[in-house]
Amino acid sequence: MDSLNKTITTIFFIMGFETKRNMEMFLFSLFMSMYMLTLGAHFLIITLVLLERHLHKPMYLLLANFSLVDFSFSSTTVPSMLSTMLHQEAIISLPSCITQIFFFHTFGNSENLLLSAMAYDRYVAICHPLRYSAIMNRHTCVTICSVCCVCAFLHAFLHAIVTSRLDFHHQEHIPHFFCDIPPLLEISSSDTTFNQLLIFTEGSLVALVPSSLTVLSYVRIIISILRIRSSTGRQKAFSTCASHLTVFFLFSASAVSMYFRSSSVSSPHKGKFVTLLYTAVTPMCNPYIYCLRNNEVKITLKKWLPSNKSKL
């Protein structure tokens, strides 16, 4: 009964960025614009892939799934952050906080796993082009996406259950702009040793295995690119890989810095900035880097433009 009362009555005050009011409104306008741009770009990619039959290929199906996960990932935190900026403080119950943690980690880990799947897709396309259609068919693509979602769901469910068992005072202030595991561990009155151990063991496995596969895939891709005789072809291929790797390392380094840092050197302000990188900035950049630079997508997009339709 005491545990039930704790769950029902515990509320959190999300502190946000704790800046001056005029700065809060500037940040609100900035991140609202970024969020709307993120949603628009991802919605455009998903719509193009769904409606254009010639884009029904494994690479674009993976990109469409990645876009769906990416804007869902951003939507678990950015609206909460915007609300906090407007009201300078947001109130959330413990069940709602745990729910936000669950969806945040479900979509975040799905994104990491899909990045690995997309890297493998490019590896097969570049290093084994003759076997590409046999290896990366629609059934394989659906299976990969399903496995990514199931693994991410189980990971998030485990951490949400373990976090929900922590004890908190009746009212707690979270020095962040949304509910996440590290801030809750800092303010919990329980022993968080098991939670920390779970992050460094199971969390490391879930994060580092797909990241290692991504790096390995791109290493093999770069080796194949170096064998290309045409300097123009090498330059174009390197440009694409460099863009992909930049976003991947930005996302991975931010996540590692947030969840595997030492609590003795952690800083709430640093944590907020790091989290902003992979919850607001990278989801906005991903559509352009992974899809909108693609020639086939650009040609399809031009067909959809009103100016081009009027000429037909």
pLDDT in tens, the chain (312 residues): 444 444 445 788 887 776 666 777 888 888 899 999 999 999 989 998 888 888 888 888 998 999 999 989 999 989 888 888 877 667 888 888 999 999 999 999 999 999 899 889 888 988 888 888 888 888 899 999 999 999 999 999 999 999 998 888 766 788 888 888 888 888 888 888 898 899 888 888 888 888 888 889 988 888 888 877 767 666 766 766 777 777 777 777 777 666 666 554 455 566 677 778 888 888 888 888 877 777 777 777 777 766 555 444
- pLDDT value of position 37: 92
Q: Which two tokens stand for residue 239?
A: 């440009």
Cα–Cα distance measured from residue 89 to residue 83, given in angstroms and rounded to the nearest whole number: 8
| Cβ–Cβ under 8 Å, residues 171 and 9 | no
pLDDT at 144: 92
Q: Is 13 helix (H, G, I), strand (E, B) or coil?
A: strand
The amino acid at residue 129 is P
Q: Which residue has the tokens 């800092």?
A: 186
What pLDDT was estimated at residue 261? 60
Asked whether 180 and 156 are in contact (CB, 8 A), the reply is no
Amino acid at site 258 = M
In sequence order, what are the residues at sequence separation of 6 or more whose Cβ sits closer than 8 angstroms to the Cβ of residue 189? 167, 168, 169
Q: Does residue 289 contact residue 193 with C-beta atoms inside 8 Å?
A: no
Helix (H) or strand (E) holding 52: none
Non-local (6+) Cβ contacts of 25 within 8 A are 85
What is the structure's pLDDT at 152? 94
CA distance 297 to 288: 11
Query: Which pLDDT belongs to residue 312?
Result: 44
Helical packing angle, 21-51 and 58-75, nearest 10°: 150
How far is CA 31 from its chain centroid? 16
CA dist 286 to 14, 97, 236, 289, Å? 28, 27, 18, 5
Q: What is the structure's pLDDT at 269? A: 61
